[in-house]
Structure 1
């Protein structure tokens, strides 16, 4: 009886060793197959994509001088560096005419505004994270007083949500020096159709506006319809897993796809990058493909001084009160 159990144990150990060896050989064969077939095919596929992208790419900007005039020249320091996010939404009610006016009064002309589409198909200037733009018609949105949502709202006159048409009329009459960055929060076909029709009928507004979107496909579709529109990409961090971020190879490939394939194909002129993932090397890589980098969100005076003096990069900020030159005067 004892010998029988001993024999069974030896037999099981032997079978376990055989299975382990077989598994090791199987893994080795799979790895060999991947190295000899998959990697060359991946390389070939990447080459095909790069070649194909040359045939479908759109012209970046038909007028580089117009882009430079929109962003303003470094000679306009200090107003050159900051771009007021939501018209400096910390200093005045965000996305409001009062906020735009305050920016211009201070001497800052670069203003970024949010754009959404209402349920009735009207483009409005509003932050969808605060107002349920897509679920409400324009008539309901315009009943709201957007100044009430700001901590200093009592210092401003009551103001309702502005439509794209009203913004265009206001800029034409009161803010002729403003450069508008219109950030699309709705990238649907309906939104793009409404926007391109509006910009086709309002040449003056188109000449002073840079359209920003996080969707490369939306930018491509818009510029395919209207190549004269200057567009920018809002680049967000999609590599959320720490193991992916820690891999230099993966992050390099990911960045190269955006810079060397997507950016030339859709024809963007500017790109908004997170300050956490920005350095001089990345700035040079974007400039090498003809795209101007802009950093977000930069709010502290020390950070602003760093991006002005060291990086020499324009930045997006929520407040113009913390500009270094203003604090130095104070």
Structure 2
């Protein structure tokens, strides 16, 4: 009886092992079949996309000298390196006129401000993530004091959300030399249409503004309507799975698609890249396709010194008080 049960156990283990090996070989054959079937089609598809992109691509920048004048030159060091995110939102209420004045008083003229579209179709300068711009009217927003949201808000005068038109009038009067990076949080056709109409009727703002968006399609639509607008891409990594990030081949293909296909087609002039994924090789690859890389978010003095001295790349920062030369003076 004992030997019989032992024999049945051995036989069961043997059958299980055979079935497992059969399953492994089956999966391997299926994978081999799909790889051999998919690789030629992927190559052909990529070739078709590359050829098609040549016919739909837009002119990158209508005036390279204007772009360089907007970004300023290394001769303007140290004000050349930093771009004040939301007007340096750690130092003053973000997206406010007070923040802009503070930046200009310190000698910095590169500003990045947020733009959102209200429910009534008005473009406003505000952070939609904090004020829920899309579901509120302009009258509602302009009744809220934005300075009280800042830790040091008591040091600033009461200020309300400004429209793009009000910002344009303020810059024309107070900061004619400022360079404005306008980041679009709403990439809907309605926003693109409103932005195009405003830019076409306001040449002064168009000449000093670089429009930034995370949507390549939105940039393409905007520049197709208004080719004179200089645009930039806010690049974020969408490879959320760690197994995809760890694959050098996948990340290389992903980056090459953005640099060599998407960027030339939509005609961007600058790209904002995360500091965690930035290095000299990546910077050179973007520069080789005629796109100027800018790094975000850089706030510590050591990081700023690194990007100034080693990377020689402009960066986006939340605070201008941590600029290395200011700390050395202090």
TM-score tier after normalising by the smaller chain length: over 0.9
Unaligned runs of 5+ in 2: none
Decide whether aligned partners of structure 1 residues 17 and 102 sit closer, same or farther in structure 2, where only a CA change above 3 A counts. Answer: closer
The answer as to 2:231 corresponding to 1:231 is: yes
Whole-angstrom distance in 1 between the partners of 2:6 and 2:329:
90
2:206 aligns to what?
206
Whole-angstrom distance in 1 between the partners of 2:29 and 2:315:
51
1:134 aligns to what?
134
Whole-angstrom distance in 2 between the partners of 1:21 and 1:88:
62
Provide Cα deviations, 1:271-312, integer angstroms capped at 9, x if missing partner: 000111111010000000100000011111111111101110
| 1:111 partner SS | strand
1:293 aligns to what?
293
Whole-angstrom distance in 1 between the partners of 2:259 and 2:304:
25
Whole-angstrom distance in 1 between the partners of 2:36 and 2:3:
49
1:90 aligns to what?
90
RMSD of aligned alpha carbons: 1.7
Whole-angstrom distance in 2 between the partners of 1:296 and 1:276:
9
2:173 aligns to what?
173
Whole-angstrom distance in 1 between the partners of 2:190 and 2:78:
39
**Number of residue pairs aligned between Structure 1 and Structure 2:** 330
Whole-angstrom distance in 2 between the partners of 1:282 and 1:139:
45
The answer as to 2:45 corresponding to 1:45 is: yes
1:245 aligns to what?
245
Provide Cα deviations, 1:154-213, integer angstroms capped at 9, x if missing partner: 221111100000001111111101000000011111111000000000011000000000
Q: How does 1:309-320 map to 2 (within 5 A)?
A: 309-320=309-320
CA drift at 1:70:
0.4
CA drift at 1:7:
8.1
Whole-angstrom distance in 1 between the partners of 2:272 and 2:32:
42
Unaligned runs of 5+ in 1: none
Whole-angstrom distance in 2 between the partners of 1:6 and 1:312:
73
Q: In terms of mean alpha carbon deviation, does 164-173 or 8-17 score higher?
A: 8-17
Which aligned runs of 4 or more in structure 1 are off by greater than 2 angstroms?
Answer: 1-29
| 1:107 partner SS | coil
CA drift at 1:68:
0.3
Whole-angstrom distance in 2 between the partners of 1:81 and 1:10:
73
2:76 aligns to what?
76
CA drift at 1:33:
1.3
1:307 aligns to what?
307
1:192 aligns to what?
192
Q: In terms of mean alpha carbon deviation, does 114-123 or 15-24 score higher?
A: 15-24
Whole-angstrom distance in 2 between the partners of 1:224 and 1:63:
16
TM-score by length of 2: 0.95
Whole-angstrom distance in 2 between the partners of 1:282 and 1:10:
58
1:121 aligns to what?
121
2:151 aligns to what?
151
CA drift at 1:150:
1.1
| 1:129 partner SS | helix
1:105 aligns to what?
105
Whole-angstrom distance in 1 between the partners of 2:13 and 2:92:
76
| 2:129 partner SS | coil
CA drift at 1:22:
3.7
CA drift at 1:241:
1.9
TM-score by length of 1: 0.95
Q: How does 1:15-34 map to 2 (within 5 A)?
A: 16=16, 19-34=19-34
| 1:160 partner SS | coil
Q: In terms of mean alpha carbon deviation, does 85-94 or 244-253 score higher?
A: 244-253
CA drift at 1:2:
8.6
| 1:88 partner SS | coil
CA drift at 1:327:
1.1
Whole-angstrom distance in 1 between the partners of 2:249 and 2:58:
29
| 1:113 partner SS | strand
